[in-house]
Amino acid sequence: MTSHVPAALFDALDTGVALLDHQLKVKYANKRWQEWLGSDIPDNAPVSKLLGDDAAFHEIELRALLADGEPRSLAIVLHPAHADSLTWRLSTVAHRAPDGILLEATGSTDDAQAPMHDIARRLAEVSDMSEVLRTLCDVATRQCSGTGAAVLRVIASQGEVVAAAGDLAIARGRTFALEGSLLQEAVLGLDVIRESNYSESDRPLLKVVPELELGPMIVAPLRAHGETLGVIAVARGVGERAFRHAEIDRLRLLSDHAALAVHKSLLLMQAQSADRAKGRFLATMSHELRTPLTALAGYNELLADQVIGPLSEPQLDILERMRSVTIHLSAMIEEILAYTSLEEGREVVRPTEFLAADLVNAAIAVVQPLAEHKNLCITAILPSEHVRMTSDIDKSRQILVNLLGNAVKFTDKGTIAVRVSVHGGSALRVDIRDPGIGIADEELSRLFRPFAQVDTGLTRRHGGTGLGLYISRRLATLLKGHLEVQSQVNVGSTFTVVLPLTI
């Protein structure tokens, strides 16, 4: 750089300045230009590094300038180095200088909003709150050319650093007095505020985290739907230049988008916590119902065995109906309990060794009485040789019982075929085919969601919780296998479960 003009002076400019030698090598480019490029320019880099899209064309102009000395105007377009940075359009004037060429440029962006939409999309993609805030800190640091950023919020009469990146990372999780803080000022002032040298300020956060070595700082409130959720702060190191208007505008814009993303995450978190409350309620309620039901079943048996005294045929018939209702209720309660324990991650795999044929036959035995009651036949085709498995037999049986139970429930006549085979030498495959009512294509995708039932009208003929298939698939996944379905309305369904022979 020229010996009599300090580089710092050029770096303080809002315009871009660059000096080229006669070979069109870059001797100097000020900070502004490097910011537009999103990267540093090494000494003696070819000028094409500065010129963006039409570099070759601009170079011809610059050579012509060297020859005739006539100033040239160049329209330079610089595309962003990062997906969330801006596309800059530089109006550049090139003059002949004593040692080569001097370039002076003013930069503008086509649409300052455009990259913000990108950021908003990226923020919207992440639903976990801590991830939203971390992304936000990273984006803000980059967008405002800072060295660190943090999201802060007010809790009671205190401030808290809820997320932080870069130079501010050491303050994460710290709380501080609200009185006199930048947080309080930004929340009350509703607009971006600046601090020229944070480390020399007397702010409460600095008293709690004295290791923070920060120079200029800007802070913007995060407001969504009339509510202030917190603030976002971007800072630079001690002695670095102050934030420019363009950077402050960018933070303002970013904070608007970010506030909406944070608001959305908050709503999601509330919904998830309501979901967890619902799960807990279901679990408690099912537990409470299980005890009296067991007692009911016991008394029923006592009466049916005629230990208390002899009963007439009609009385025995009523008792039998009561028994089948009790069994049905118990099955539903067991299903809800299985669902809640899967949801809470309480299910553990207990592997034992067993024969695949025993597993399948035991499952068929459970549904056989129901099938006979409906005059349905169940056939099983098993491999000729013994297939040994090491897996959780109870969970495997539960899956098959659910699938067979559905096959019986949704079939009025015909035969339910169970085919067992070894798949790829390492997995057991069970196909359960029924000639029942079948499932329409559009229903297939939501079949495995909890509480999903195809026929949800008041007129629905079949009882059930809509949890069986969801639980079955979750159990199959827990056992490192999978569960699929193929079906055609009025033709029938085939459910296929594949489980590894050894878990």
Provide the binding-site residues for ligand ADP, judged by CB under 6 A. 402, 406-407, 410, 434, 436-439, 447, 452-455, 464-470, 493
Give the separation between CA 215 and CA 496, rounded to whole angstroms.
Answer: 64
Q: Kindly state the smallest distance separating residue 494's Cβ from ligand ADP, in Å.
A: 9
- Cα 65 to chain centroid, rounded: 55
For residue 94, give both structure tokens: 């090139």
Residue in this structure with the two tokens 């056992």, named with its chain if needed: 479
Q: Kindly state the smallest distance separating residue 372's Cβ from ligand ADP, in Å.
A: 18
Q: What are phi and psi of 303, to 5 degrees?
A: -65, -45
Q: Is 293 exposed, middle or buried (0-12, 13-18, 19+ CB in 10 A)?
A: middle
Mark residue 72 as left, alpha or beta (left: phi above 0; alpha: psi -120 to 50; beta: remaining). beta
Whose Cβ is closer to ligand ADP: residue 138's or residue 443's? 443
3-state secondary structure of 479: coil
Whose Cβ is closer to ligand ADP: residue 57's or residue 451's? 451
Q: Which helix (H) or strand (E) holds 229?
A: strand 227-235
Please name every residue paired with 234 in a beta bridge, in sequence order, or none if there are none: 149, 218
Whose Cβ is closer to ligand ADP: residue 320's or residue 412's? 412
Whose Cβ is closer to ligand ADP: residue 255's or residue 472's? 472
Q: Kindly state the smallest distance separating residue 451's Cβ from ligand ADP, in Å.
A: 8
Whose Cβ is closer to ligand ADP: residue 19's or residue 407's? 407
Whose Cβ is closer to ligand ADP: residue 139's or residue 467's? 467
DSSP 168: T
Whose Cβ is closer to ligand ADP: residue 52's or residue 438's? 438
Q: Kindly state the smallest distance separating residue 338's Cβ from ligand ADP, in Å.
A: 12
Whose Cβ is closer to ligand ADP: residue 26's or residue 469's? 469
Order across the sheet with 175-177: list the strands.
175-177, 158-166, 148-155, 227-235, 217-224, 193-195
Whose Cβ is closer to ligand ADP: residue 201's or residue 465's? 465
Residue in this structure with the two tokens 């539960």, named with its chain if needed: 398
Q: Kindly state the smallest distance separating residue 434's Cβ from ligand ADP, in Å.
A: 5
Whose Cβ is closer to ligand ADP: residue 159's or residue 436's? 436
Give the separation between CA 378 and CA 407, rounded to whole angstroms.
Answer: 10
**Among residues 153, 177, 243, 170, which one has the least CA distance to residue 162?**
153
Q: Kindly state the smallest distance separating residue 411's Cβ from ligand ADP, in Å.
A: 7
Q: Is 43 exposed, middle or buried (0-12, 13-18, 19+ CB in 10 A)?
A: exposed
Pinpoint the alpha helices (H) of 202-351: 204-208, 245-304, 313-343
3-state secondary structure of 498: strand
Give the separation between CA 103 and CA 101, rounded to whole angstroms.
Answer: 6
Mark residue 399 as left, alpha or beta (left: phi above 0; alpha: psi -120 to 50; beta: remaining). alpha
Q: Kindly state the smallest distance separating residue 477's Cβ from ligand ADP, in Å.
A: 15
DSSP 312: -
